[in-house]
Structure 1
C-alpha cells in the first residue's frame, strides 16, 4: 500500500548503506557515502548564513555536486534552483534575477561567459563547493518550498514552478511504485537534472534503494556504452532520443540488459512503440504524460502498450486526472476536453507571478474528488470507455522540440535583439526526428541571415536554433495591429505543401 505521508525530500536516501546509490565515471558512492556528502555539502551552505528559504542556483553538468545539491539545499533550509546546463548567459541571467538567487554554483568556464549585469547584486558566484560540518536530516514542513524549476511558457521568458517537499517526495514515491524499481536496478539518468523528470530519476531511484548513473552524452553511442558500462536496467528518454537510439547499432547483450524503458516529453507514435518493443523485447515500456506544474499526470502500464500504442494511460498514484468540457462539466467517453490535474502533486504556482498562476492554477471542477487547486493544462485529451486517455493537441503556442518546451516569444526576442531582423515569428512545424522543428519567419533582408544565425548560436541553446529562416518584406497584422501569427503559420504551411 502506498504511504501518502510526505517527508522532507532530504530523507529520500532509503537504500542499504553499503549499496550503490550514485554511479559516476570517477567512482561509485554508496548510500552511506551519499548521505555523508549531502550532510557536509549542506554544512557548507550553512556557512554562507543565507536567510531561510533563500534560493541557491546550480548551473552544472551532471556532476556529483549537481546530483547532491537538491538534497543538500533542502537540508540547509534553502530552495534549490537547477539551471539547465545547455542554457546560455542571457537565460541564466534571467533565472538568477527572477529567482532572487543568493548563490550561483557553477564552473569556471561557465562563470567566465557571464557579463556585467548578468549576476544580480547580492548573488555570490562560486566555482567550487566546499564541505562544512555535517548537518542532520531536516525537520522541514513538507508543505514548505523546496525547489523552483524554470520552464518556458507560451509567452514570455521561462517561469519558475514552485515545488514543495511534498510535491517532490510524493512524486518519488509514485514513480518508484508504478515502475516497480527494485534495489538491484541501475537507472541511467540521461535527462537534464533541471527537468522535473530528470530530477525525479534521482529521487525515485533513491527512494527505491537503487543506484542512479547520471549521464551527459553527445551521441547515441555514448548512451549505449553507458548502458554496458554501468549495467543499466532502466532508461528514460524523449521521442527524439528514442529515434536516434533506434537508428544506432545495439550490441545484443546491451539491448537485453534493459528491463524498463520510460518515455516522457512527447507522445510515442505507434510505429515507435513497435520499434522499441522489437529492439528491446525484454524491456517493459512505460508511456507517460506530464507537465512541470503537476510533475506527472498519467502512465500507460506496459501490458497495455501493444493494444493501445497511442494512449497516455491513466492517472499515476496520488494524481486525479479529469477531462473537462469548456463549460466546466465532465466530458463523456470519446468526447474531447481539457486535461485537468488535481491532488497533492500539484505545484504551488509560479514564483512571483500571481497573474500567470491565476491562469493555470485554478479551483478544481465541482466533480473532482480531491478538490482544492488544480492545474488546468490547456491540453486536449479524449478518454475511451476504459478510461484510457489519448492526447489530442496543445491549445497554446508552445513549440515541442526534442523533448523541450520552447517559448516562441523567447526565440523571437533573441532574433530581434540585433539589427538583422526587425520583426520575427517563431513557429513549430512537424518533424519526424524532433517532433517539431523551429521555423523563424523574419522581416528583413535575407543577406543578413549568416549574421543572425551566428548571433543566435551565441545567445540561444542548440535546441532553440531555427532549422529554417524565411525572410519577408512585411508580416501580416490583425485588427489590433499585432502580428497575425495564424496567417504567418498558414503561409509557412502553404510553402511546405
Structure 2
C-alpha cells in the first residue's frame, strides 16, 4: 500500500464525512480526494516522473494537506518544508535533494527567489496554488504556473511505485544542529499509521486537532493517522493564543490532542480551559525524550477521565519507537514505555551486548519503522544503520537503527530515557546527562522550562549550567533554587551556574535551541558554591 491510498480508501468509505476543518472551511473526504488528485494532475502535466523530489511550501491549510497527498498520488517524493525558513536555507535544501518541482501558496512564496538568491538549477517547475500564473516569472526564468486545486480534474493513473520506494525526505537538525534529510519509505509510513491507530484506538468518529506543523514528523503522523481511519482533523495554525486553541477544542468537540510539553504547559497555565466544556476529550499524546512528571500529574488532576499516552521516537524511526500505555502513567510517569506494535528494540552496551536490568545502554531499533538512510550522506547513514547485532535472529541483510539515545530498562521491560550519547557532559571523573539534571529541576515548584548545557572549566573540563524559565507570578530566588537542586541531585550534578530567563529560544516545533542559549548574554547568574 502507498501512503496516498490511505486518502483514497477513506474517500471511498466515508465520502461525506468531514476530513479537514480550518476555521469556517470544511472539506469532506470526497472533496479532499478531488483536491489531491488536482495537485497530482498539475504535477504530471508539468512532466513529473516517479521519484522526482517535490518541495512544498504552505501555510497550514487544507491546500497544504491536499498538496501532500497530491505529491504522493503523482508518484513524487514529498519534501514538505517550513515556509518560514530563511530563503537561503530553503534553496540549500532544494539543492541538496535536487528538487525538480516547487509547489507553494502565495504567502509562502513571497520573495523566496531574488537576484541574489536564484532558484537552484534542478528546479523545472513552480506551481502556485491559487496564485497568478501563465506569464508570471521569477528570477532564473522559471515559469510560475497557476494551480487551481479546487477545480476537479481527470483522475490520474496510479503511480509506478511500490511500498518499499522512497515516499518523503524530512529535513531535521536533530541534536547536532546539522540539517539531515531523513528518507522514509511508503511502507514505513503506512505501517506507522496501522500501529499508532491500533494503540490509540482511533475510529472514524474521532475528531482530532492539529496544533503541530505538518512539516514536523509528529504533525505529519497525526495527519496520516486521522486520514488512515477517516477521522476529522481541525487545523490550528498557531499556539500563540492558547484560548483560541481551547475555542476549537470546545467548538469541534475534539476527542484527541497531540502536542509537546510546551503546548500542554501553555494550555494549563495561560488559558481558561477549566471553564470550558471539554468533555469530548478522549486522549492526549505527549512526545519527547521524557515528559516532566509534574506536567503529567497536573494533566491527570485536571483531566482525570482523559487517557494520556507518553510517546517516544525520532524522525529516523518514522517518528515513533515506543509508548507508555495510559494504564501505567500513574505508576511510572517517567517511563517512555515499551516498543510500539511491529517494533523490536535492544539496549546495547559499548561491547555490543545487551545490558542488564537497570543498566544504561544505547537504544537500537528494528522494524519497518527504520529509515532508508540520510539523503546524499552515505557516511552518516552507515553510522546510524548497521548490521543486526544478533545475526541469528534477523536476516543477514537487515539493517537496524542505532539511535544514539541512551536508555535503561526495568525488570518489567519498561524503558526510561537517560540522555543522548552526543550530549554527555564530562565533568572531572563524572559523566553527566543533561536530561537527568533537567528532569530533576523540572520537579522544583514554579519551574516552567529548563535547559542544561556544558560550560568549559579549567579544572574539571566541563561543568553543568542551567537556564531556567519560571511560571507566571513565581519569584526567582537563586539561593532557594540552588538549595532545591542540592536536595534533588548529587553534588557533582548540581549546576555550577543558574541563569533565569523570561523565555528560551525554540524551533517552530517546540524544541529548545541550546546552541542559541549559550550564545546570548544572560542575566546575572546564581553561582553554586
Alignment TM class, shorter chain as reference: 0.7 to 0.9
SS at match of 2:373: coil
Matched, 1:259 2:282: yes
What is the rounded CA distance, in whole Å, between the counterparts of 1:428 and 1:35 in structure 2?
51
What is the rounded CA distance, in whole Å, between the counterparts of 1:22 and 1:428 in structure 2?
44
Unaligned 5+ segments in structure 2 are 130-146, 425-433, 439-450, 454-463, 472-504
Higher relative contact order (CA 8 A, sep 6+): 1
Matched, 1:354 2:354: no
Q: List per-residue Cα deviations over 1:350-405 (Å, max 9, x = no partner).
A: 0011011111111221178445111111111010011000101111249999xxxx
Name the structure 1 match of 2:89.
Answer: 91
Matched, 1:162 2:183: yes
Q: Aligned-pair distance for 1:203?
A: 1.1
What is the rounded CA distance, in whole Å, between the counterparts of 1:70 and 1:365 in structure 2?
36
Q: Select the residue among 333, 355, 359 that pairs with 1:331.
A: 355
Name the structure 2 match of 1:121.
Answer: 121
- State whether residues 53 and 145 of structure 1, in contact with CA within 8 Å, keep that contact through their aligned partners in structure 2: yes
SS at match of 1:287: strand
Normalized against structure 2, the TM-score is what? 0.74
Name the structure 2 match of 1:21.
Answer: 19
Q: How many pairs were matched up? A: 425
Q: Any residues of structure 2 matched to 1:78-157 within 5 Å, and which?
A: 78-114=76-112, 115=114, 116-117=116-117, 119-123=119-123, 124-128=125-129, 129-131=147-149, 132-138=153-159, 140-155=161-176, 157=178
Name the structure 2 match of 1:237.
Answer: 259
Q: Aligned-pair distance for 1:251?
A: 4.0
Name the structure 1 match of 2:5.
Answer: 11
Matched, 1:173 2:171: no
Q: Aligned-pair distance for 1:462?
A: 11
Q: List per-residue Cα deviations over 1:98-141 (Å, max 9, x = no partner).
A: 11111222233433332433520232333323344321554621
What is the rounded CA distance, in whole Å, between the counterparts of 1:120 and 1:65 in structure 2?
24
Q: Aligned-pair distance for 1:494?
A: 8.7
Matched, 1:194 2:215: yes
281 and 148 in structure 1: CA distance in 2 versus 1, 3 angstrom threshold: same
Matched, 1:380 2:413: no
SS at match of 1:352: coil
What is the rounded CA distance, in whole Å, between the counterparts of 2:353 and 2:470 in structure 1?
37
388 and 74 in structure 1: CA distance in 2 versus 1, 3 angstrom threshold: same
Name the structure 1 match of 2:427.
Answer: none
9 and 262 in structure 1: CA distance in 2 versus 1, 3 angstrom threshold: same
- State whether residues 318 and 344 of structure 1, in contact with CA within 8 Å, keep that contact through their aligned partners in structure 2: yes
Q: Select the residue among 260, 265, 272 that pairs with 1:249.
A: 272
153 and 305 in structure 1: CA distance in 2 versus 1, 3 angstrom threshold: closer
Answer with 98-107 or 360-369: which moved more: 360-369
Unaligned 5+ segments in structure 1 are 1-6, 409-426, 435-455, 473-491
Name the structure 2 match of 1:54.
Answer: 52
What is the rounded CA distance, in whole Å, between the counterparts of 2:392 and 2:277 in structure 1?
45
12 and 431 in structure 1: CA distance in 2 versus 1, 3 angstrom threshold: farther
- State whether residues 338 and 378 of structure 1, in contact with CA within 8 Å, keep that contact through their aligned partners in structure 2: yes
391 and 156 in structure 1: CA distance in 2 versus 1, 3 angstrom threshold: closer
29 and 107 in structure 1: CA distance in 2 versus 1, 3 angstrom threshold: closer
SS at match of 1:50: coil
What is the rounded CA distance, in whole Å, between the counterparts of 1:304 and 1:28 in structure 2?
37
SS at match of 1:12: helix
- State whether residues 91 and 119 of structure 2, in contact with CA within 8 Å, keep that contact through their aligned partners in structure 1: yes
Q: List per-residue Cα deviations over 1:215-249 (Å, max 9, x = no partner).
A: 11122222111212222110001011111111022
Name the structure 1 match of 2:230.
Answer: 209
Name the structure 2 match of 1:438.
Answer: none
Q: Aligned-pair distance for 1:92?
A: 1.3
Name the structure 1 match of 2:42.
Answer: 44
Name the structure 1 match of 2:496.
Answer: none
